[in-house]
Every structure is written in C-alpha cells, then in structure tokens.
Amino acid sequence: MRIAVLGVGAVGGWFGGSLVKAGHEVVFIARGETLRVLREEGLRLNDEPPIPVDAVEKLVDAGDIDILLLAVKVTAGTDLPELLDGLPGHTLVAVTQNSVEVPDLVAEVVGRERVRPGVVRGYFHHTGPGRVEFHGGPISYDVGDGDVDTFVAALAEAGVDATARGDIDVDVWEKAMYVTTTGALGALAQAPLGELRTRLRPSLEALMREVDATARAHGVPLPDDAVARTLAFADRMPADATSSMHRDLVAGRPNELDAQVGAVCRLAARHGVDVRLHDLLYEVLG
C-alpha cells in the first residue's frame, strides 16, 4: 500500500513518520521550509535521529497512491480544491480534522464515496518544520469503514490504535464535543484543561450540551450519556493539556475556529438549535 500524507504538522508528521519507521511506503506533500527540511534533513520525532522521507510539493507529483491521509489544518483560508488537485481517481481520502464539516467539504471535491471521516486522539506538538513531539497518552485513529483494512493494519504496525468504524459520525461528534469546547473555552480563558474541568466546569458542560443537542438535531445517534462520558474523558487527561486550536488562537496564528466552532454554529442554525455560548465564543475569538 502506498500512502500519501498531506499536511506534515503534528498529526501528519507523527503518523507518517511512524508509518515510515514501520516499513511502509509513504510520500509527504509539503511546501516551503517544511519541504526543504524534509528533503535535506528528514523528519524528526521527539529526540530520535531524523528519518529520511520521500517529499514532494504537490499531490500531482506523488504518483499513484492508495490512500491520502489529509492532515492539513483547515482554516478559513484553506483551499481544499487546490490542495486535492491531482488526486488519482481511485484514491481514498482519510480525514483527520477536528471538524464536523470537513468530511462534507472534502466530499464536495472528491465525491462522498471516496471520503473516510476519521478521529485522531493524542496530544502531539508540531515544534518546527519537520519536527513533532509526543510525550505519552493515547495514540488512536478511528476511521470510517470501507476498503480501509490494509490502512488500519499499517497504522497498527506503526503504533497507532486504529479501528474502522461503521458509526464514525458518532465518533466525529463526540470528539467535537471534547476538543471544540475545550479549545475555544481554553483560548478565551487562557487556561489549560485542569482549570476548564474544575473552575470553569459549568461553562464547559454547557458548551458540551450545545454540541450534543446539535448532533441529535443533525440526526447523529449519540449515546444518552455522551456529555457525561466526555466530561469523564476530560477528567482523565493531563491537567496542563491545551488543544492546538487554543494555542493557535492565543498566538495569533491561522486557526481552526471557523472549522470547529463555526461549523457547530452553522449546523445549529440550520436545525434551529440554541447554541448561544458557541455563537458568543465564535464572535469574541474571531
């Protein structure tokens, strides 16, 4: 199986590098300084020696690939049609973004039958071009089923707890219930997860209930205890944890506010769901 990784940041770098280390054929699509570093120095995971990798500038230069791991951050300025230009007609697209909208946006470009929504869990940090760090905790990827067994097996060999799921929409929304709410509230309060789940717990739970209501109105069969389970998950995570959206917002970098919080606001408006806290966060943080 030949795998392409588009977006060599935290997730793409760690997953792609781990796949290369496990002996799988991977090509990275990158630009600018990241492309130069990958070609001249390789990809560095934590403090390990650099891994030599195959890197090209455009998807069309990647050659024949079986599956594309779409790991680029989708911000307000992301042009998905441009990024996916040159994708072979048979190639599946495995999505990693923390967004309830991105699978639909990708489907508008390549067709729904080729999109496999997915959910990544793990605190990875992109520390510079071609450099990624991970320091403990879960490393998992749930992906929509359908012709992905070989890909799932490859990820398992690379140390990722990968699973193909027929109910992937449930997982996508449960992940949004966690990462969208903690990311936005954390950025507003400039506080890590430990403070969100204690001092700001009522606000965090209220935000999660807005996501829960929107998902159900959208036809996603979340379990009855989805909010309680998500809060319990937050209680188990490191107290000093922050999401990449939180860090990007605080640093003034391009961020996923629109893809995450904006997506919830738009779907809630479509279904007549009151998400006033998300609306507030979207306006204040935007």
List, in order of start, the domains of the chain with CATH numbers: 2-165 (3.40.50.720), 168-285 (1.10.1040.10)
* pLDDT band, very low/low/confident/very high, at 208 (cuts 50, 70, 90): very high
What would the pLDDT profile of 251-263 be if each residue is shown by its tens digit? 999 999 999 999 9
Strands of the sheet containing 124-128, edge to edge, are 44-45, 131-134, 124-128
What would the pLDDT profile of 7-65 be if each residue is shown by its tens digit? 999 999 999 999 999 999 999 999 999 999 999 999 999 999 999 999 999 999 999 99
Q: Which two tokens stand for residue 44?
A: 């560095």
pLDDT of 238 over the 90 cut: no
What would the pLDDT profile of 149-175 be if each residue is shown by its tens digit? 999 999 999 999 999 999 999 999 999
Mean pLDDT of 206-220: 98
Tell me the C-alpha distance between 95 and 119, whole Å. 8
pTM to 2 decimal places: 0.93
Q: What interhelical angle do 10-21 and 149-157 show, nearest 10?
A: 80
Distances (CA, A) of 94 to 50, 97, 167, 172, 225: 26, 10, 15, 13, 28
DSSP per residue, 11-55: HHHHHHHHHHHTT-EEEEE--HHHHHHHHHT-BEETTSPPBP-EE
What would the pLDDT profile of 89-123 be if each residue is shown by its tens digit? 999 999 999 999 999 999 999 999 999 999 999 88
Q: Which of 8, 1, 97, 96 is nearest to 51 (CA)?
A: 8
Per-residue pLDDT, 159: 96
Mean pLDDT of 186-199: 98
Phi, psi of 236 (to 5 degrees): -90, -15
pLDDT of 267 over the 90 cut: yes
